[in-house]
Amino acid sequence: MGEVRINAKDMPYQVLNQRVRALVASGEKDIILDNVLGQRFIGDGIRGDDVTITVNGVPGGDLAMFMSGPTVIVNGNADHAPGNTMDNGKVVIHGSAGDAVAHSMRGGRVYVRDNIGYRGGINMKEYQTKRPILVVGGSARAFLGEYMAGGLVIVLGVDGVTPVSERGVGSGIHGGEIIIRGRVDPTCLGGGAEQKKLTEDEKKAIRPILEDFVRTFTIDPDPVFSAEYSKIVPASKRPFASKYTWE
Amino acid sequence: MSIGSTPMKYRVKIDTERCMQCKRCIENCSYGVFREEGDKIAIQSRNCVACHRCLAFCPRDAIEIEEKPGDYRSHPVWTREVRETIFNQAKTGKIVLAGMGNAQPYPIIFDRLVLDACQVTNPSIDPLREPMELRTYIGKKPSSLDLRQRDNGEVQLCTKLSPNLQIETPIMIGHMSYGAISLNAQTALAKAASRIGTFMGTGEGGLHESLYPYQSHMIVQVASGRFGVDINYLERGAAIEIKIGQGAKPGIGGHLPGDKVCADISCTRMIPEGTDAISPAPHHDIYSIEDLKQLVRGLKEATEWKKPVFVKIAAVHNSAAIAAGIARSGADAVVVDGFRGGSGATPRVFRDHVGIPVEAAVASVDAKLRQQGIRNEVSIIASGGIRESADVAKIICLGADAVYIGTSALVAMGCRVCGTCYRGTCAWGIATQKPELVARLDPEVNAVQVENLIHGWTLELAELMGAAGINSIESLRGNRDRLRGYMLDEGLMNVLDVKTVGA
């Protein structure tokens, strides 16, 4: 089957999402949504590893929420929480995204070419083979990777942008890691987070992810590969273990 | 140690005349009170939590447990509990963790409300003879019905109805997660809920695959940690509940300690074994009432608008205004969890001091929704401290559609309300993950006990309704004229919208 296009101009989100769902159910693999402007929940709860949904325009909040398998490509910016509690699949945003990107995500990948808002990667978790990955080309605002229980957040700060310069990075992190180009000002680290230099071996391990990212957005790879990185990891697996006493 | 030891909480004695040395007490105690020493059973009373497991299994009634055997100098302000908490914190410098519900001696509003009965002028109804309608529908009701007559004379309903849960009695089982309680305990509750035709909540611990056969009677919870939440989980549930708050710990999140995250729990919650399962205080994608609406709709979109979505809040000062916001968020029911609600583990200071009683919260939520003309938009589910059928009848009179029971259902499975759930060594196999303790709880036997309890309450509810001349639960709901306040102050009677006895 070839591609199917929907003109989303002035279409309410429920109608749009029902049509997408019906197309996926009928076996369509390549769905293109034109003139998207603020429609929420695109890809919400959709399954299908071989389905690609291309969004031309600016989707509303919770893009690809609970999604399990498909690829969503956004040619534009995205609102808050793309990849919210996403299970599997890939979200590629050719632009910036709002707050709580990849919130509680449990698998798959979210790539944001430019910047993200507050609370990126918050509460991400991993389990067995499921390891969510969020890669941001530009910068992230405060509270990046808070309460992370697993997964990987990478902020590249391409073109010399400071990846993150606000507080609360990794507060309460108890699993997973946040990898940042350069070094985070220690005053920006949250409670329970610890910063270490990324070793050459560790850098090698994330190389395939970086390669995929620069290829996706046609970014000059050399500055990305040659840069120094640091990682922010939990100071303890059990940050609250010593907080309580029994009655 | 400068503080020294404090008086024992319990003293355990064995009547040697009666004891036949069967050692069942040694086998049953999971707290290490009893041990064999030569031909004697030695007792370490300090380990006792008064869970009564030994007492229940002693064939000769030889065991005695005495509470607070050592007196402090009595004082109305500096109570024993206050002093002991200070000792504890002076030694540790930590937050005191407690179990079960509120343990402060606040007056119980339920116990100061009395129900009505018919005499002479309108006859009471005998449920033996007349049908009593206890079936309840949880979810949105249309504000009006659009009925049109077809050419052939048939009447057609043109209003699009929202999905509702049909329950055969207005008693459901609240959310207690796999993790907080054992899988055997959850299985017993699930069996009971299915057989009765009611529902139980999964709590925020995912849905274990062995419970899939009961999924049509389960409400799946989405809380701030999003444990075990994926599209399959959402699709399995009969309804979805967003947990914003809990009566036992309003305003804070939850931590399941890593040592309780065994292989099976790790699989159900979808987190690695041995890691702390941390639910943050807020949902980090909900920072406003608009964000709540977004999550409600996100869940509905994911499940194609086929399932009711509930929102659970702790009963707090402004519950009424919050519930009005929830009613406008597209949610189908609001769960109001009062400050007596239980918990496996909660900071003592929250359990005992934060939140308000469910009676006042439900009455004010119901009143606010009616004032605003949106009572039909949401059902009200009351939870937290529902102890008997009279509480069910009274809270329905105050405006609830149905109740969730938690602690009562656990008591039906043997729980003695010892409040030591946070230790993870529950001798009854309820609040533990230790396989040898979990195995003590037979899901089938306990399902029957929980079923019996709900059945008994349902019969009593029907009798109470019949006595009041009411044959349908709808006529009881919000029917404050069937209540009178006994020794309640005027301010509270205004909030509850009930008259005093004699009026």
Task: Kindly report the nearest CA distance between residue A45 and chain B, in angstroms.
Answer: 4
Burial of A218 (0-12, 13-18, 19+ CB in 10 A): exposed
Quickly count: other Cβ atoms within 10 Å of residue B455's Cβ: 16
Give the model confidence (pLDDT) of B243-279 as tens digits: 999 999 999 988 887 888 888 888 898 888 888 888 9
Strand order in the sheet with B113-115: B113-115, B483-485, B499-500
The string of DSSP codes covering B402-462 is EEEESHHHHHTTT------GGGSB-TTSSSB--HHHHTTS-HHHHHHHHHHHHHHHHHHHH
Neighbour count for residue B15 (Cβ, 10 Å): 12
Please give the pLDDT value at position B472. Answer: 97
The pLDDT assigned to B277 comes to 85
> pLDDT grade, residue B64 (50/70/90)?
very high
pLDDT greater than 60 at residue A129:
yes
B43-47: average pLDDT: 97
Chain B environment of A172 (Cβ under 8 Å) = 278, 280
Helix (H, G, I), strand (E, B) or coil at B6: coil
Mutate to test the interface with B, among A41, A130, A245 (most CBs of B within 10 A): A245
Nearest to B302 among A44, A80, A150 (CB): A44
Among A66, A149, A244, the residue with its CB nearest the CB of B275 is A149
pLDDT of residue A43: 98
* CB contact (8 A) between residue A146 and residue B284: yes
Which residues from chain A sit within 8 angstroms of residue B274, using beta carbons?
237
Cβ contacts of A125 on chain B, cutoff 8 Å: 226, 270-271
Count helices and strands in chain B by DSSP H and E runs: 16, 23
pLDDT, residue B260, reads 82
Neighbour tally for B254: CB within 10 Å: 26
pLDDT tens per residue across span B436-470: 999 999 999 999 999 999 999 999 999 999 999 99
B14: pLDDT confidence band, cut at 50, 70 and 90? very high
Distance from CA of A21 to the nearest CA of B (A): 9
Structural domain includes residue A148? yes
Q: Would the CB atoms of A130 and B270 count as touching at under 8 Å? A: yes
Interacting residues of B279 by C-beta distance below 8 A, sequence separation 6+: B204, B223, B224, B225, B227, B253, B254, B255
What is the arithmetic mean of pLDDT over A38-61? 97
Instruction: Point out the residue among B234, B258, B276 whose CB comes nearest to the CB of A66.
Output: B234
CB B351 within 8 A of CB B106: no
Alpha carbon B484 to its chain's center: 26
| Per-residue model confidence (pLDDT) at position B258 | 82
Query: Is the residue at A18 inside a domain?
Result: no
**Residue A71 in domain:** no
CA distance A52 to chain B (A): 18
Token look-up 């270490």 returns A196
- Would you call B82 exposed, middle or buried from its count of C-beta atoms within 10 A (0-12, 13-18, 19+)? exposed
Residue type, B365: V
Contact by Cβ (8 Å): A44, B302 = yes
Inter-residue contact A144 to A103 (CB < 8 Å): no
Contacts by B128-135 with C-beta closer than 8 Å and gap 24+?
B130/B466, B130/B471, B131/B471, B132/B462, B132/B465, B132/B466, B132/B471, B132/B472, B133/B471, B133/B472, B133/B473, B133/B474, B134/B168, B134/B169, B134/B170, B134/B458, B134/B461, B134/B462, B134/B473, B135/B166, B135/B167, B135/B168, B135/B169, B135/B473
- Residues of chain B with Cβ-Cβ distance to A247 below 8 Å are 85, 88, 96-99, 348, 419, 422
Mean pLDDT confidence for B474-495: 97
CA distance B367 to B278: 36
Q: Which residues of A64-84 are buried (b: 16+ CB within 10 A; e: fewer)?
A: bbbbbbbbbbbbebbbbbbbb
Average pLDDT for B355-378: 98
Backbone torsions φ then ψ of B364, nearest 5 degrees: -75, -35
Closest in A84, A150, A239 to B272, CB measured: A150
The answer to whether residue A70 scores a pLDDT higher than 80 is yes
Beta-carbon contacts of residue B128 (< 8 Å; ≥ 6 apart): none
B1, pLDDT greater than 60: no
3-class SS of residue B160: coil
Cα B309 to Cα B15, B206, B327, B394, distances in angstroms: 55, 17, 11, 25
Which of B85, B224, B249, B278 to mutate to test binding with chain A, by most A CBs within 10 Å of its CB?
B278
Cβ neighbours around B326 below 10 Å, total = 30
B28's tokens: 């049953």
- The residue with greater pLDDT, A187 or B122, is A187
User: Which residues of chain A make contact with B271, given a CB cutoff of 8 A?
Assistant: 125, 127, 149-150, 175
Does B337 score more than 60 pLDDT? yes
In whole angstroms, how far apart are CA B32 and each of B38, B42, B45, B427? 17, 10, 9, 11
For residue B256, the 8-state DSSP code is E
Would you say residue A216 lies in a domain? yes
State yes or no: pLDDT of B371 exceeds 70. yes
Q: Which amino acid makes up residue A57? A: G
CB proximity list for B458: less than 8 A, separation 6 or greater: B134, B169, B171, B389
Structural domain count of chain A:
1
What confidence tier does B38 reach under pLDDT thresholds 50, 70, 90? very high
Q: Are A59 and A79 in contact (CB under 8 A)?
A: yes
Residue B458 CA to residue B357 CA, distance in Å, equals 23
**Are A84 and B298 inside 8 Å of each other by CB?**
yes
* Chain B partners within 8 Å of A106 (Cβ): 226, 230, 270
Query: B205 and B182 in contact (C-beta within 8 Å)?
Result: no
Position A111 in a domain:
yes
When CB atoms are compared, the residue of A41, A104, A175 closest to B301 is: A41
In chain A, what is the straight-line distance between the N-terminal and C-terminal CA atoms, in Å? 65
Query: What are A91-121's pLDDT values in tens digits?
Result: 999 999 999 999 999 999 999 999 999 999 9
Residue percentage of chain A with pLDDT more than 90: 94
Q: Rounded to two decimals, what is the model's pTM?
A: 0.96
CA distances for B165 relative to B141, B169, B306, B395, angstroms: 12, 12, 11, 20
Interatomic CA distance for residues B10 and B58, integer angstroms: 18
Residue A34 lies in a domain: no
Say if residues A124 and A102 touch (Cβ distance below 8 Å): yes
**Is-contact B384 B340, C-beta < 8 A?**
yes
pLDDT at A239 over 80: no
pLDDT at position B466: 97
For B270, the closest chain A residue by CA position comes to A127
Q: In chain A, which residues have their Cβ closer than 8 Å to the Cβ of B231?
A: 45, 47, 66-68, 87
Instruction: Give the closest-approach CA distance of B307 to chain A in angstroms.
Output: 14
CA distance, residue A30 to nearest chain B CA (Å)? 20
| Domain with A222 in it | 96-234
The ipTM, to two decimals, is: 0.96
- Chain A residues with CB-CB distance to B277 below 8 A: 149
Q: What is the pLDDT of residues B202-230, one digit of tens each?
A: 999 999 999 999 999 999 999 999 999 99
A237 and B226 within 8 Å at the Cβ level: the answer is: no
Sign of CA dihedral B73, B78, B83, B84: positive
- All residues of chain B having their beta carbon less than 8 Å from the beta carbon of residue A127 are 266, 270-272
From chain B, the residues in CB contact with A89 under 8 A are none
Query: Quick check: B94 and A242 CB within 8 A?
Result: yes
Residues of A in contact with B266 (CB under 8 A): 127
pLDDT on residue A240 = 76
pLDDT of B342 reads: 94
Chain A residue with CA closest to B349: the answer is: A247
Please state, rounded to an integer, the average pLDDT across all residues of chain A: 96
Closest Cβ–Cβ partner in B89, B99, B302 for A65: B302
**Mean pLDDT computed over every residue of chain B:** 96
- Do the beta carbons of residue B32 and residue B45 sit within 8 Å? no
A139, β-bridge pairs: none
Q: Rounded to a whole number, what is the largest CA-CA distance in chain A?
A: 65
Measured in angstroms, the CA of B430 and the nearest CA of chain A are apart by 19
Percent of chain B past pLDDT 90, that is, above it, reads: 92
More confident residue, B415 or B276: B415
Other Cβ atoms less than 10 A from the Cβ of B382: the count is 32
Q: Nearest C-alpha of chain A: how many angstroms from B372? A: 27
In chain B the domains, ranked by start, together with CATH numbers, are 10-94 (3.30.70.20), 166-500 (3.20.20.70)
Residue in A closest to B267 by C-alpha: A127
Tokens of B275: 């890691």
The minimal CB distance from A245 to the residues B94, B274, B297 is found for: B94
pLDDT at A69 over 70: yes
User: pLDDT tens across A204-215, in order?
Assistant: 999 999 999 999
Residue type, B439: A
Going by pLDDT thresholds of 50, 70 and 90, the confidence category of residue A1 is low
Residue B199 has a pLDDT of: 98
C-alpha–C-alpha distance, residues B199 and B403, integer Å: 11
Question: What CATH number is given to the structural domain containing A221?
Answer: 2.160.20.60
Q: How far is B118 from chain A (nearest CA, A)?
A: 48
Confidence grade of residue B429 (pLDDT, cut at 50, 70, 90): very high
Smallest Cβ–Cβ distance between A87 and the set B231, B347, B419 belongs to B231
Instruction: Using the structure block, give the residue that is written with the tokens 């030695």.
Output: B42
pLDDT at B80: 94
Nearest CA in chain A to B100: A247
**B304/A21 Cβ within 8 A:** yes
Cross-chain Cβ contact A61/B294 below 8 Å: yes
